Structure 1
Amino acid sequence: MAHDFLVKDIAFQAGVSTATVDRVLNGRAGVRRQTEQRVRAAIGELEKQQGGLEVQSRKFAIDVVMEAPARFTETVRQAFESEAATFMPSVFRSRFHFSETMRAQDIVSHLDRIRLRGTDGIVLKAPDVPEVSLAVVRLEQAGIPVVTLVTDLPNAPRTAYAGADNRAAGETAAYLIGERVAGAPATVLVTLSSNRFRGEEEREIGFRRTLRDRYPQANLVEISEGYGHDAATGALAAKALASHPGINAAYSIGGGNRAVVAAFKAAGRSCGIYIAHDLDAENLALLREGAIHFVLHHDLKTDVQTVFRAILNRQRPRPAQGSRLSAVEVITPYNIPARIG
């Protein structure tokens, strides 16, 4: 019976003496059938444990592919680098492929190159379009796990999604704005970076539905395709403010907040409540300045942990665990997390 384990380890696992294990391994008589089966089962269990340790001590090279503004991708980079140390003895080394704007065909070409080169996993923030979903199909068929980050690709066979419940985040924003306006007329400027991202779409759906049901007196003015860039988003916000003199609140789904705040100031308009997403350096400063009132924040470190677990589970001889959504926190100037502030 071939094995790589010490007799004493097998005996401990099986709960029998070393002499009994020796008799079983050498095919000697005098061992009951049940005891022999217990020894063989113990060896099987040790083999499973050894396989798990081999996976846990492996080095994983993963690729993080994202279309997002630099202020957000820098926060993502920091989260991956800090959380890698918490998964020892497994070693995760991340290769980052960031761009503020990427055409869908460029993302697909990049993913196909990574697939042909080889990788232990891909973390992806990309538009929810058919060609990107097909690229994910090719990756998964090649045995490469794909984990979507922050915004999902629900029509693609990805391994897991790592992020918050975006629809619930939008509902939370609607509740905060509705309670602030307290039945008075309100027109909310809703800003998206692009309507191609499923996560932003989910936030908007949750926001619109809750505002319509609970606060029907509120009106919405939407701008998009500024891609979170200050110049483009600021220009769109200035145009909306000029066309809609009733705008007195803002829900920023897609970023570019300093430019939007500047557009309100340039127009000589006040913003009774401003809600943004993600506690990056820019939003943290705006929150402390009082330029924005609430930040809906979720911990990217939790998302990174979900990524690492999903990739590890693909290597283990057991069913993968389900994705764990990161919690959405309502941050004010008075409860900034110590780990950030």
Structure 2
Amino acid sequence: MSHPFLVKDIAFQAGLSTATVDRVLNGRAGVRRQTEMRVKAAIAELEKQQAGVTASGRTLAIDIVMETPERFSDAVRAAFEAEVTTFLPTVFRCRFHFAEIMKPIELVQLLDRIRLRGTHGIVLKAPDIPEIAAAVERATKTGITVVTLVTDLPNSSRAVYAGADNRAAGETAAYLIGNRFDGAAARVLVTLSSGRFRGEEEREIGFRRVLRERYPEIGVAEISEGHGADAATGILAARAIAADAMINAVYSIGGGNRAVLAAFEEAGREIRIFVAHDLDADNRALLAAGKIGFVLHHDLRTDARSAFRAIMSGLVKERAAPAVLSAVEIITPYNMPANN
């Protein structure tokens, strides 16, 4: 496997021992396919970083841990990689740990492995549950700065939250949908990936509050635990549509939008307005095709910048300043920002 990097650098990036990396590089027997893929991914990541940064300045390794659909993790990866070059001469090496669904015990074990292996900081998108808060506490007690990303763990010892004001995002969705129906009765299908995420819960709270106060004629039907995956979300959406003939709008908090649209089409049901979150590849295509009406977008590069700054502050023992919340933008097919 040809590469210009030291074995110790590849091992550091991959989170493996130098002996394991050496076995992979030299094609020795007994290496699992998963381990080989981790080494290849680490080399690819180092090549990207080498292309965009210089060797001067301090090198900091940070771990980005997320339970999220692949379409969103791809957007996050792109944002963090784009922001790396803005912090020169400090060089951030980002190690990504993404999974669409992770059991709490798996997340806890991953966080503990990262803590024991060593890192300069952890950026975390995870459920707001006591086991995760306890793992964060163990990390921060060893001096690791933890930043929560897009969904918060307010009762943990994390340094800062980097993301949008989720309640304001939910309120904005309610305003768009309420104005669309202009006093007429309606029923909105609200989709959550999981009720365990604080950010999604806050979006729903903001959404329901504005409907209750300003648009009481609009009702809500909720589905959850599809984890943003198309297959599971589509099944839940189909069941909800079949059970409630009044549903004629969608507020997608948790994703799986292609599957939701397919469920309505299969049932021969009209969607009067569809409001989604995040300009991932799927939503860009659906918005351009007129399948969804609005996307509530916030700049993930702003979140990455906040995370990097918090980690740098933690290394010099400064109190991390509150991260700047990302602005929530209403995106239509006519003001879609470039995909960079």
Please classify the TM superposition score into its range, dividing by the shorter chain length: 0.7 to 0.9
| CA offsets 1:164-192 (integer angstroms, 9 cap, x no match) | 00000000000000000000010000000
Question: Aligned ranges for residues 52-67 of structure 1 at < 5 Å?
Answer: 57-67=57-67
The structural deviation recorded for 1:57 is 2.8
Distance 1:65 1:220 in 2: 32
3-state DSSP of counterpart to 1:89: coil
Instruction: Give yes or no for the alignment of 1:199 onto 2:199.
Output: yes
Percent of aligned pairs with the same residue?
65
Distance 1:117 1:319 in 2: 25
Match of 1:39 in 2: none
Question: Aligned ranges for residues 150-189 of structure 1 at < 5 Å?
Answer: 150-189=150-189
Distance 2:91 2:60 in 1: 6
| Structure 1 gap ranges (5+) | 1-55
Residue identity in the other structure for 1:284: R
Match of 2:30 in 1: none
The structural deviation recorded for 1:315 is 2.2
Distance 1:317 1:134 in 2: 22
Distance 1:287 1:318 in 2: 43
The structural deviation recorded for 1:271 is 0.4
Q: Which deviates the most, 309-318 or 131-140?
A: 309-318
Match of 1:264 in 2: 264
Provide the TM-score with structure 1 as the length reference.
Answer: 0.82
Supply the RMSD in Å over aligned alpha carbons.
1.1
Match of 1:73 in 2: 73
Distance 1:236 1:315 in 2: 45
The structural deviation recorded for 1:338 is 2.9
| CA offsets 1:218-271 (integer angstroms, 9 cap, x no match) | 110000000000000001000100000111100000000000011111110110
Assess if the C-alpha contact under 8 Å between 2:192 and 2:224 holds in 1: yes
Distance 1:57 1:206 in 2: 44
Distance 1:320 1:124 in 2: 16
Assess if the C-alpha contact under 8 Å between 2:159 and 2:320 holds in 1: no
Question: Aligned ranges for residues 39-118 of structure 1 at < 5 Å?
Answer: 57-118=57-118
The structural deviation recorded for 1:318 is 4.2
The structural deviation recorded for 1:321 is 1.9
The structural deviation recorded for 1:319 is 3.7
Distance 1:318 1:304 in 2: 19
Distance 2:252 2:58 in 1: 41
Distance 1:282 1:339 in 2: 12
Match of 1:320 in 2: 320
* CA 107–318 in structure 1, closer or farther in 2 if over 3 Å, else same: closer
| CA offsets 1:120-176 (integer angstroms, 9 cap, x no match) | 000100000000000000000000000000100000010111100000000000000
| CA offsets 1:56-92 (integer angstroms, 9 cap, x no match) | 9311000111000111101111111111011101100
Match of 2:128 in 1: 128
Q: How many residue pairs were aligned? A: 285
- Please identify the structure whose Cα radius of gyration is greater: 1
Distance 1:320 1:113 in 2: 25
Question: Aligned ranges for residues 224-263 of structure 1 at < 5 Å?
Answer: 224-263=224-263
Match of 2:147 in 1: 147
The structural deviation recorded for 1:317 is 5.6
Q: Which runs of 4+ in 1 moved over 4 A?
A: none
